[in-house]
Structure 1
Amino acid sequence: MRESPASGKFHLKSVTSHHLLDSREMLRSLALGGAWLLLWRLAVLMEYAPHASIWFPPAGLSFAAFLILGLRALPVVMLCSLIATFWVDDLYQMQQSWVQLAYTGVLFGAAHSFSYYCGAALLKQLIRRSFSDALPKIILSFLILGTLSSLLAALTGTQVLAGSGLIEPQDAGAIWLPWWIGDMAGTIVLTPLFIGLLSWRYPLIESWLGGLDFQRSGEGMYGFLSKLLISTSLLTLTMLLAAKFRYSEVSFAVFFLIIPQMWIVYTESAFRAALSLAVFSILMAIWVAALSLMDFALVYQFAICVISASAYFGLAVPVLTAHNKQLRELALNDSLTKVASRLYFFEQAKQELARAKRYGHPISLLVFDIDHFKQINDEFGHTAGDKALIAVADTISKGLRQSDILGRFGGDEFLLLLPGTALDKATETAERLRQALQAVKVDGTRHFLSGSFGIVQIEPNEDCQEAFERADECLLKAKKAGRNQIFSDQR
C-alpha cells in the first residue's frame, strides 16, 4: 500500500517536530548542567568553612529544576554532583582514587537529588490542591519545605562525605550547620528566580503558583534599574561600614536593607523582585568574602533568608488585593448584568431609606420583570435570554439619575430605588422606562421586549422588606391584568 503525499508530509513534519523537541530538551539539559556547575564553582569561591559557602546557589537551582521539570532534571543534577565531587578532589588535593570519587559522587548526588526532589514534589502537590487565594499558604509551604530540604541535604551530604573519607567523621558534626544555612540561603533566595528562568518559553510549564507570575517583563526597565542601584549602593555602604567597624552590632544593620527590597517588591513584577533578591544576595556574598567578614557569615546568611522570606510575603499583597477587589465586585454587582446584586441593593436601600426618614424626603421602589421571559428562553435559548437581561439592564440604566439604584433580584426580576421621588414622579419614570423597553429587541431575533412594573412609595414606618413585598404585589397585579402595565400602591 503506497503512502499518499499528504500522509508522507505529515509523517515528515511529525518526525521533524519530534527531533526539534529533542534538540530543545538537550539544549535545556546542557544549559541546566552548565549553570549548575558555574554556580557551584562560584559558591566554592565564597566558602568560609570546608564544604560550607556563604550561600549555595545550586541548591536553589536543583529545587527549581525538580519543581518545573520533575524527574527529567535528575540525570543532569546527578551528573553535575559527580563532576563536582571530582572537582573538589582536585581543588583540595585529596588524592582519592577515581573509583572512590565516583562512589562518593553518586552517593552525594543521590542525597542532594533526593532531598530537593522530595521538597519540590511536596510543594507541587500543595500548589495543585490550593486555590489562587491561598498564596500566603503557598509561600509559607515553600519556605518550610525549602528549609527542610536544605536541612536534609546538609545532614545526608555531610554523612556521605564522612563515610567516603573526604572529611573526618568528627568534622561532619561541625560543618552540617553552616552547610545547611548556605543551602537554605541558596534555596530560599534563588528558587523563585530560577523558576522564572526555567519556565520561560517552556512548552510544558503549568499555570500555577497562586497568581504569582515569574515570567519576565520588559516594561519600565529604567525605573527598576534605578531602584536596584539604590538597593545595592546601600548594601555596599553597609558592608563597608561593617568592615571598618568590626562589631557584631554594625553587621546587624544589614537587616534594615529589607526596606529598599520591599520597595522593589511592591512596585515591580514578581520576576524582577526575585532578580533583585538574587543580585542583592550575590553582592552580599561577594562583599563578605572580599572584605574578610567571614566572622559574621552566619549573620549575613540569616539576613539573606529573612529579607527574602519577608519579600515573598510582600509579593502576595498585590495578588491578594486584586483577588479581594474581584471578590468585592462579585459581591456588589450581578455577574451577568453588572447592576447591583440583590444583597448590595438592599444594603444601599437601607441606607437611603434611613437618609430619607432623617430629612423627610420621599423615596419610591419599583419592581419590574420581563414579560414572557420563559418563552424567550424556550424559543431562542438561554444565551438569547442572557442577552435580553443585559439589554434590559443597559436600557434602564441609561434612563436613570446618578442617585437611582438599579439591582437584579433574580431571574428576570429587577429592583429600582428612586431616592427623593414621590409616587407620582415614580409612576412617570416607570412609564418612561416601560416605553423604552418596548424598543428593545432580543439580539438575533425579531422579538421585542416589554415589562410589567409594580411601584410603591416607601412609608416612614416601613422597612425595605415590607416595601418590597408591597411592590411585588403590585407587580403581580400588573401581570394578571395582561402584562406590559404599571400598578402602584400608596398607603
Structure 2
Amino acid sequence: MISRQDPHAPRPAQRGAFLRAAGFLKTHPILLHLGLILAWLLLWRLSALMQYAPHASLWFPPAGLSFAALLLIGWRAVPALMLCGVGATFWIDRIYQSHTPWRELLLTGVIFGVAHCASYGIGAGLLRRIIRRSTLHSLPGIIIAFLVLGCLAALSAAWSGVESLRVAGLLAASANHGLWLPWWVGDMAGVLVLTPLFLALISQLFPQIESWFGGLQFQVQPQHRWPYAGKLLVSVVLLSALMLTAAHFRQPEIAFGTFFLILPQMWVVYTETPFRSALSIAIFSTALALWVEILGLIDQALVYQFAICVIAANTYFGLAVPVLLARNRKLSEMAFQDALTGACSKSHFFEDGERALIEARKYRLPATLIVLDIDRFKRINDEYDHAVGDQALIRVAETVRAHLRAADVFGRFGGDEFMLLLPGIGLQQALAAADRLRLHLQRTEAPGTSQTLSASFGVVELARGESTMQAFKRADRLLLQAKRDGRNRIGSAVPETTE
C-alpha cells in the first residue's frame, strides 16, 4: 500500500527548522530570557499607546505573555519578568517626567514586579497542575480553569499593582478606588486574548507541549491564506463600521453592538485551525483597542474591554466543539465497531441484523446466519503471543470481508468468534459461501508463523418470526458440534418454526 503524506502536516524542512531553533534556545537560556524581556517591553509600550487613564490601558498584552511564560517556563521566568517590571517603572518615569529618585523607582519596580509575578505565577502554577492531572477528554474543563484562573490572577495583579504604586507614593490613596477595575479588566483582556496565542507560537518550537492542549492542534498548517484573510477582513470591516458609527453619533448604547461581532469570530473558529482562530481574536482585539484610542471612545472603554473578554472566552469554547465532536465520533465508532478487526460490535451486529432481517422479510426473501470460530486459536496465542493472535484475527476478518456483499452484515461476537447475516440468501447458498470461506482460510497463514488457519462453522436459515439472537443460539450449537466432529467443518440444520 502506498502511503500518502498528510497535506496538513508540517513539512520536514519546517519541522527541522523548528527543532533546531528549539535546541538552540534550550542550550542558550540567556537568549530565551532576553527574547522574553524584549517582547514584554515591546508589548508594554504598545499597551501604553492605548492608555486611557494613568496606569490603565484598554488592554494589557504583557499580562498574557507573563501568564504564558510562567505557565511554560515556571518560576525560571521570574528574573526576566522582574527586570521587565523595573524597566517599565523607569520608563513610566521618563514618560510622565516625574523625576522620581532612582532608588524610589527601583523600589517601586521591585514591588510591582513581585506583585505581577506572584499573581500570575500562582495562577499559572495552579493551571499547570490542573492540566497535568487532566485527561485527554477534559478540554472544556481546562478552558474553564484557564478562564477562571486567568481572571483571578489578573484581579490579584491589578489590586496588588495599585497597592504597590500607592505604597511607593506614586499614586494617591483616593485613586485606588477608581483605578483597580480598569486595570483588572485590561489585564484580564490581555491574559484571555493573548495567552493561547503565545502558547501556540511557543509550541512551534517546543512541539511536546502541544499535549497540554487537550486535543487542540496548534501547529501551523499549510492551508490557503486568502479565504482566511477574507474572513479577517469581514471581521475588521464590521468592527470599523461599528466604531465609526459610535464615534459619529456618540450614543453609549452603540458600544454594546461590539458583542454581536462574536459572529464573524465564530465563523473563523468553525472553519479555520486553532492557531488561526487564536491569531484572529488577537488581531480583532488589537484593532478594537486602536479604534478606541484613535476615535477617543474612552467613555465606553469598560464596555469594549468586557466585549474583548467575552468574545475571547466564546472563541475558546468554540475551539472545543470540533474536538468534542471528533471524540464523540470516535466513541461512536468504538461502540458500533470492533476496534481490532473493523467488524461490527456484538450489540451493533444484532441491531443491524434485525433491520436487515425486517427488510428481507418485507420482500419475502430468506436470510441465513453464519457463525465461525477459528480452530485452535488458543494454541496460536500460547505458542507465539497475543500480538500474533491479534494479527490472525485481523487476517480472518479481512478474508471474510473480501467475500461480503453490500447487504451482508459482518460482526465479531467476541474472542475468535465471528458472525455473518446474509439477507436474501437461502441455506444452500449460505452453505456454499461458508465452504468457500473455509477453503480460503485453509490457504491463509497466521501472520508471523508458518501455521495455516482453519475455522469451524455453524449455518442456519432463519425461520419465520425468529430473531437473529435466537438464530445465533442455534448456529452456535451447530458450531460446537462441528468442533467436536473434528474442526474445519460446517454444521447446518433446517429452519425451525417459531410461530
Check if 1:345 corresponds to 2:349: yes
Retained in 1: the 8 A contact 2:255–2:303?
yes
State the 1:85 CA deviation.
1.1
Distance 1:345 1:267 in 2: 35
* Shift of residue 114, structure 1, vs aligned partner: 0.8
Q: By how many angstroms is 1:126 displaced? A: 1.2
The answer to whether the 8 A contact 1:68-1:198 is kept is no
What SS does the corresponding residue of 2:28 show, helix, strand or coil? helix
Match of 1:13 in 2: none
1:235 Cα offset (Å): 1.3
How many angstroms apart in 1 are the aligned matches of 2:24 and 2:228? 36
- Displacement of 1:402 in angstroms is 0.7
1:431 matched to 2:435? The reply is yes
One of 113, 119, 129 as aligned partner of 1:115: 119
**Native 8 Å contact 1:452 1:475 kept in 2:** yes
Structure 1 Cα separation of the partners of residues 480 and 201 of structure 2? 64
8 A Cα contact 2:459 2:478, kept in partner: yes
Cα distance change of structure 1 residues 165 and 189 upon mapping to structure 2, 3 Å threshold: same
Q: Deviations over 1:119-149 (max 9, x none)?
A: 1111111111222221111111111111111
Task: Classify 1:238/1:20 alpha carbon distance in 2 versus 1 (closer, same or farther; 3 Å).
Answer: closer
Aligned pair 1:463/2:467, yes or no?
yes
Partners of 1:236 and 1:218 in 2: CA distance: 29
Query: 2:195 maps to which residue?
Result: 191
Q: What amino acid maps onto 2:70 in structure 1?
A: F
Greater displacement, 71-80 / 325-334: 325-334
Q: 1:371 and 1:267, CA in 2 relative to 1: closer, same or farther beyond 3 A?
A: same
Match of 1:292 in 2: 296
Per-residue deviation, residues 263-284 of structure 1 (Å, max 9, x unmatched): 1111111111111111111111
Q: Tell me, yes or no, if structure 1 residue 161 matches structure 2 residue 165.
A: yes
Decide which of 271, 283, 294 is 2:275's aligned counterpart. 271
1:357 Cα deviation from its structure 2 partner: 4.3
Match of 2:460, SS state, is strand
TM-score, normalization: structure 1?
0.93
Match runs of 1:71-82 below 5 Å: 71-82=75-86
Deviation of the 1:99 alpha carbon: 1.4
Question: Residue type matched to 1:58 in 2?
Answer: P
The match for 2:18 is: none
Show structure 1 runs of 5+ residues with no match: 1-16
**Aligned partner of 2:155 among 146, 151, 165:** 151
Partner of 1:374: 378
Residues 62-461 of structure 1 mapped to structure 2, 5 A cutoff: 62-202=66-206, 205=209, 207-461=211-465
Shift of 1:204: 6.5
Match for 2:30 among 26, 35, 38?
A: 26
- Report the 3-state secondary structure (helix = DSSP H, G, I; strand = E; otherwise coil) of the residue aligned with 2:138: helix
Give the share of equivalent positions with the same residue, in percent: 53
Deviations 1:412-433 (A, max 9, x none): 1111111122222221221121
Task: Report Cα offsets for 1:345-402 as digits up to 9, x if no partner.
Answer: 1221222233344443322111111111112222232222222111111111111111
Equivalence for 2:11: none
Matched pairs, number: 475
Report how far residue 20 of structure 1 moved: 5.3
Instruction: Indicate if the aligned counterparts of 1:119 and 1:146 stay in contact, CA closer than 8 A.
Output: yes
Cα distance in 2 for residues equivalent to 1:360 and 1:56: 74
SS in 2 for 1:406: strand
- Alpha carbons of structure 1 residues 366 and 203: separation in structure 2 relative to 1, 3 Å: closer
Q: How far, CA to CA, are the matches of 2:119 and 2:225 in structure 1?
A: 37
**Cα pair 2:22 2:206 within 8 Å, conserved:** no
2:359 corresponds to which letter in structure 1? R
2:489 equivalent in structure 1 = 485
Cα shift at 1:68: 1.2
Residue 179 of structure 1 and its aligned partner are, at CA, apart by: 0.5
Distance of 1:380 and 1:297 partners within structure 2: 72
Is the Cα contact below 8 Å between 2:25 and 2:31 reproduced in 1?
no
Checking the alignment, whether the CA contact within 8 Å between 1:94 and 1:166 is kept in structure 2 is no
- The CA deviation string for residues 292-343 of structure 1, in whole angstroms up to 9 with x for no partner, is 1001111111111111111111111111111112112222211111111112
Q: CA deviation at 1:83?
A: 0.8
Normalising by structure 2, what TM-score? Answer: 0.92
Distance 1:463 1:369, change over 3 A: same
C-alpha separation between the residues in 1 aligned to 2:231 and 2:23?
44
2:50 is matched with: 46
The answer to whether the 8 A contact 2:459-2:490 is kept is: yes
Q: Which residue of 1 aligns with 2:61?
A: 57
Counterpart code for 1:26 = I
Give the AA of the match of 2:124: A
Distance 1:162 1:443, change over 3 A: same
Conservation of the 8 A alpha-carbon contact between 1:104 and 1:161: yes
Q: Which residue identity is paired with 2:386?
A: H
Instruction: Tell me if structure 2 keeps the 8 A contact 1:192–1:214.
Output: no
8 Å CA contact 1:339, 1:408 repeated in 2: yes
Unaligned runs of 5+ in 2: 1-20
Tell me if structure 1 keeps the 8 A contact 2:143–2:316. Answer: yes
Q: Distance in 2 between matches of 1:23 and 1:203?
A: 17
CA distance in structure 1 between the aligned counterparts of 2:25 and 2:363, rounded to whole angstroms: 74
Look up the equivalent residue of 2:492 and give its one-letter code: S
TM-superposed CA distance for 1:22, in Å, is 6.0
Distance 1:218 1:97 in 2: 53
Moved more, 106-115 or 451-460: 451-460
Q: 2:253 corresponds to which letter in structure 1?
A: E
On the 8 A contact 2:482/2:489 being kept in 1, the answer is yes
DSSP-derived class of the 2:456 partner? strand
- Which secondary structure state, in structure 1, belongs to the residue aligned with residue 245 of structure 2? helix
SS in 1 for 2:431: helix
Q: Return the letter of the residue paired with 1:376.
A: I
Partner of 1:6: none
Deviates more, 1:195-204 or 1:144-153: 195-204
